[in-house]
Amino acid sequence: MTIALRSKHTVPSALFAKKPSSAENWFNAAGQLNAGSNVEAIQILGSLMGEIASGKVNMKNPEHYETLAAEKKARQEMFVAAFKGDRDGWQELGAAIGAEISEVANRDGFMRRFLVRADLAQGTMPRLRVRWANVTALYASSASQVHPLFVRDKYIYPPEFYVLGNIMVEEREIAQGAGDMLEDAFLRTQEQIMVQEDRLLKIFFDNTVGVANAQQLLAGGLTPSGLAATREQIITWGLPADKFLMAANIWTDIVGNAASWANLFDPVTQYEIIQTGFLGTLLGLQLITDAYREPNQKVLNAGDMYITSRPDTLGAYTDRGPVNAVPVDQQLHGIPARGWFFSELLSMTVVNSRAIVKATR
């Protein structure tokens, strides 16, 4: 029997759950948001954010959750068998988790959507061509540090660094049958790999404040005119404004003035797309949020907003391949635990600080 790496949850999926105090589901049978207008779509998306934040529904299981008990038991048996089995079985499971993390990061991760991927052949060093001279770039030297670089030449040679994850499972957890350990291992790895990539992207964005574009303070909250003025900073440089990344609480400003925003908002209604945090286009900008993520996987602070230009004008990353997983047996060190050491080799560069502007409310 084939068992998915990611389990279903005890709370219902938004794909099948009903709206609060309503007989109508959030989504119809075709997986489309049950909204009759842009105003209603704005209100429903806001209400859904609140239900997810309170833990009443989730966006992670696209199947019916009534089979949770049977599937959870089968998944747990598979995990325990791998834990107690030989090294090859444990290594296989770790490789499957690493491959799934890479796939999810490519689909849902902010860093991989906001920056363009630069191809990197085996045996070569990262080299990025700069289209604009005399600009300030930023490059990462580790998974938590970025540095400015004034660009005079045609190329930037960013250093590569590791993003690391270390997941351990104790014998005691196996004996006590604690929770869904496979799902827990996947989520912990996702937090240490994909979420770390996105946190580093936020560090990049925050470090561009004042370099080329001033931070915008929206004292009265987000308004159409405030969004247009923030976007104008990028357009003034002759760059196209492309994406709008916002924290969950910003949506309350949009819901509170839904009639004004409705004509500027082209919503996405497909469940699978909303899962990734892409909600549609707002004033011509791709609207992206982390509101539908697990709480410990959110990377934005309340009030955070960022507008960026297209990835090919903003920056790039290099990636040496999928997440690598190496089995680790702590019993050799006197600890009854097994796990995996996950790693990936990246470089990240924001080539043009003019292509990002930050706003806060």
* Residue 64 confidence (pLDDT): 44
> Mean pLDDT: which of 13-17, 116-120, 234-238 is highest?
234-238
| Whole-number Cα distances in Å, 202 to 69, 147, 196 | 38, 14, 10
State which H helix or E strand residue 137 sits in. Answer: strand 135-140
Residues 50, 292: Cα–Cα separation, whole Å: 10
CATH number of the domain at 80, please: 3.90.1690
The 10s digit of each residue's pLDDT in 92-126 is 999 999 999 999 999 999 999 999 999 888 899 99
* Residue 66 confidence (pLDDT): 46
- For residue 6, being part of any structural domain is answered with no
What whole-number percentage of the chain has pLDDT above 70? Answer: 93
> Beta partners for 318?
347
* Residue 65 confidence (pLDDT): 43
- For residue 16, being part of any structural domain is answered with no
* Residue 320 confidence (pLDDT): 92
How many structural domains does the chain have? 1
301-324 average pLDDT score: 95
220-240 average pLDDT score: 96
- For residue 10, being part of any structural domain is answered with no
Map tokens 């994909």 to a residue: 194
pLDDT-derived band at 69 (thresholds 50, 70, 90) equals low
Q: Are 241 and 284 in contact (CB under 8 A)?
A: yes
> Beta partners for 156?
128
Query: Would you state the structure tokens that stand for residue 333, as one six-digit string?
Result: 């060190």
| Whole-number Cα distances in Å, 209 to 56, 138, 141, 221 | 37, 12, 19, 19
| Residue with more model confidence, 147 or 8 | 147
49-57 average pLDDT score: 89
Full domain range(s) for residue 92: 38-360
* Residue 12 confidence (pLDDT): 77
- For residue 140, being part of any structural domain is answered with yes
pLDDT-derived band at 76 (thresholds 50, 70, 90) equals confident
Decide: helix, strand or coil at residue 164. strand
- For residue 19, being part of any structural domain is answered with no
The 10s digit of each residue's pLDDT in 169-226 is 999 888 887 677 888 888 899 999 999 999 999 999 999 999 999 999 998 899 999 9
- Please say if the pLDDT value at position 321 is more than 90: no
What whole-number percentage of the chain has pLDDT above 90? Answer: 69
Nearest by Cα to 43 from 212, 206, 237, 258: 258
pLDDT-derived band at 68 (thresholds 50, 70, 90) equals low
| Whole-number Cα distances in Å, 61 to 7, 139, 267, 271 | 7, 36, 22, 11
Nearest-Å Rg of the Cα atoms of the chain is: 22
Q: Are 41 and 35 in contact (CB under 8 A)?
A: yes
- pTM over 0.75, yes/no: yes
Residues 225, 152: Cα–Cα separation, whole Å: 36
* Residue 67 confidence (pLDDT): 47
* Residue 253 confidence (pLDDT): 95
> Beta partners for 346?
161, 319
- For residue 8, being part of any structural domain is answered with no
- For residue 142, being part of any structural domain is answered with yes
* Residue 54 confidence (pLDDT): 87
- For residue 200, being part of any structural domain is answered with yes
